[in-house]
Structure 1
Amino acid sequence: MRRSLQKLFALCSFGLLAATATSGCADNDSQLFIVGVAVPDGECNVTPDEGTAIRLGGLIDVAFASTYTGDLLVGNQLTQRGSREETKTETSRIAIRGAEVQIFTPQQQLINEYTVAATGFVNQAPNGDASYGVASVTLIDSATAGQLAGQLGGDPNARVGVVVEVRVFGDSLGGSEVTSAKLTYPITACYTCTLSCPSEDPNLPPPCSIGNDDAVDCGACRTGDDANPNLCDAAYIAVGRGNN
C-alpha cells in the first residue's frame, strides 16, 4: 500500500511538472504575436496601435522592386512586472532581434526559407491589455523575387502568387527568449502592374516603397523641378523605353 501511494505521488508530481512545462511553452508562444502587415500613413509612418490598418495581402512589382518588405504590427501580452514603489526594474519589455521566413507556393511547396535580422521594441502590456510595436521584415528576398520575375517572363498580364509564413523572435529585458506564433501572408507578384499613367495629374505622392503594394505614377517622370529620377528610370525601363 505504501509503495502504491509513493508511486501515485511520483506520477502526480511528474504530471504537474509536465503540465507546468507545457503551460510555459504555450505562454511563451502566445505572449508575442503578429497582428499583420501594417499600412503606412501618408507620411510612410506606422503607428503601433491596435487600431492600425492591416493589409489582407501584398503586391510586389518585379519591374520596380527586388524585395518585399513588410512593417509587422507586433503585440506583447506579457504583463507589467516592474514596480516604482519596490524599485523593481521592468523586465517584460521585448527587444525584437530577427524573423524566420518561409515562402511557399499556393500548393504549400516550399520555395525558400531564411532568417533575417529585424529591429523593433514592444513595451509591456499595461493593465492586462496587449502593447504594440513595429518590426520591419523582408518577406520576399532578392533570390525569390528573381525566381518570380523568371516565372512572369516580362508579361504585364501575368500574376504569380506565393504564401509567406513569418515568425519574429527576440528577448525580454529579463533575459528570456521569445518567439511569436506564425503569421500567414499572401503576396502576388506581377510585372509593371503598379505603373499608373492617368490622363489627368492626380497629384499622387511617390509610394513609400517603390514596387511594393502602391501604384507608381508615371507622371512623376515628367520634366520639371518636381521630377523624380528614381521613379523615372524604373518607369521607363518597365515600359521598355530605356532611360530616354
Structure 2
Amino acid sequence: MNASPGLVTRLCTLALLAASGGLLASACADNESSLFVRQRMAMPTTGECTVSCSPTEAFWSADAIDSAYVGSHSALILVGNQIVQRGDSDVLRTETSRVQLYEAEVRLSYMDGSPVNEGYVVPIHGVVDPGSGSNAGYNCTDVLLIDGATMDRLRGEAADARRDIEVLASIVVRGRTLGGQEVEAPEWSYPVRVCFDCSPCVDTLPVDCCYGEPNEQCEDLEDVEEFCPGIRGPRDCRSLGQTCEEHLADVRPRR
C-alpha cells in the first residue's frame, strides 16, 4: 500500500521527535556535571584539624601517611553543586536543589592500574547548597580513603619494601536533592603514599611519662601535638601510651 506524501512527512516528524525526546531523557538521566569533587582540602600541620570549605582555600595534591601510627585514613574533600536554584519566596516555592550527601564508593589501585582492593561503599555527610549564577555551591565531606583491612595490607607491603607504596584512591560521591533527585559525581582520583616507620618517634625522659602515669617529672613536659590526617611528622610516645620501641613491635607485620 502506498502512503500519501503528507502522511510520510507526519510519520517522519513524529519519529524525529521521539528520537530527540529519547536523547533528551538520556542526557537528563546521566547529568554528571551537577555534582563534582573539586579538591582535597589542605590541613594545618597540628592542632585543630579544621578548614574553611571554599575553592579559594589551600588544597593538597597528595597525602603521605605512616602506617605504623594509623589504622585507617580519611580525607576532607570539597564537593560542588551546579544544580540551578529553584526556590522563590514570591510564590512560596521551597528550595529543592540542595544536595544531601549520603555515600561514597571508594576503590584503590596501584599506580600501574592493578587493583589494591575490590572497593567499598562508605557513608558520608553534608549538605551542598546550589550555586548562584555561574558559580557552584560548595561544602566539605570526610571520606574514608583507606579502610582498616586495606591499611593492614599496605602496611605489610611498605614494611617489606622499606619504601613508600603509592596508591590511587578513586572516589564516586553520591547525593540526593531535597526534591528527591539522585545525583552522582564523576569519579575523582587522589594519590596517597603509604610507608611504615618512616616518621621519627620520640620517647620522653623519663620514659614513665610515655605511659601517662602520674609523675612530677612529667608535669613540665609540653602538651602532645597530634598531626592532622594526611601529614607525616614526629610522634610523641605519650600519644601511643607506650614507648616507641614497644609500639613498633606491636604493629610490625609478622610474616
* 2:76 pairs with one of 71, 77, 84: 71
Task: Please identify the structure whose Cα radius of gyration is greater.
Answer: 2
- Do 2:66 and 2:232's aligned partners in 1 also have CA atoms closer than 8 Å? no
* Residue identity opposite 2:233 in structure 1: V
List alignment gaps of at least 5 residues for structure 2.
Answer: 203-221
Q: Secondary structure at the match of 1:29?
A: coil
**What pairs up with 1:194-233 in 2 under 5 angstroms?**
194-195=199-200, 205-209=225-229, 213-218=230-235, 220-221=236-237, 229-231=238-240, 233=242
Query: 4+ residue stretches of structure 1 with deviation over 6 A?
Result: none
Query: Which residue of the partner structure matches residue 163 of structure 1?
Result: 168
1:39 matches 2:33: no
User: What TM-score do you get using the length of structure 2 for normalisation?
Assistant: 0.79
> How many pairs align?
226
- Deviation digits for residues 64-106 of structure 1 (CA, Å, limit 9, x no counterpart): 1121101011011112110111111000101100101111111
- Deviation digits for residues 197-228 of structure 1 (CA, Å, limit 9, x no counterpart): 6xxxx99942123xxx223324x34xxxxxxx
* Residue identity opposite 1:184 in structure 2: S
User: What TM-score do you get using the length of structure 1 for normalisation?
Assistant: 0.83
* 2:17 pairs with one of 1, 9, 13: 13
Q: Distance in 1 between matches of 2:110 and 2:243?
A: 28
Q: Distance in 1 between matches of 2:160 and 2:250?
A: 14
- Inter-CA distance 97–234: structure 2 relative to 1 (3 Å threshold): farther
Cα RMSD for the two superposed structures? 2.5
Q: Distance in 1 between matches of 2:169 and 2:163?
A: 20
* Residue identity opposite 2:91 in structure 1: E
Q: Select between 164-173 and 45-54 the one with higher mean Cα deviation.
A: 45-54
Q: Select between 168-177 and 14-23 the one with higher mean Cα deviation.
A: 14-23
- Do 1:36 and 1:183's aligned partners in 2 also have CA atoms closer than 8 Å? no
Q: Distance in 2 between matches of 1:160 and 1:234?
A: 26
- Inter-CA distance 8–203: structure 2 relative to 1 (3 Å threshold): same
Query: Which residue of the partner structure matches residue 107 of structure 1?
Result: 112
* Residue identity opposite 1:208 in structure 2: C
Q: Distance in 2 between matches of 1:233 and 1:47?
A: 35
- Inter-CA distance 237–90: structure 2 relative to 1 (3 Å threshold): farther
1:146 matches 2:152: yes
Query: Which residue of the partner structure matches residue 205 of structure 2?
Result: none
- Do 1:101 and 1:164's aligned partners in 2 also have CA atoms closer than 8 Å? yes
Q: Secondary structure at the match of 1:171?
A: strand
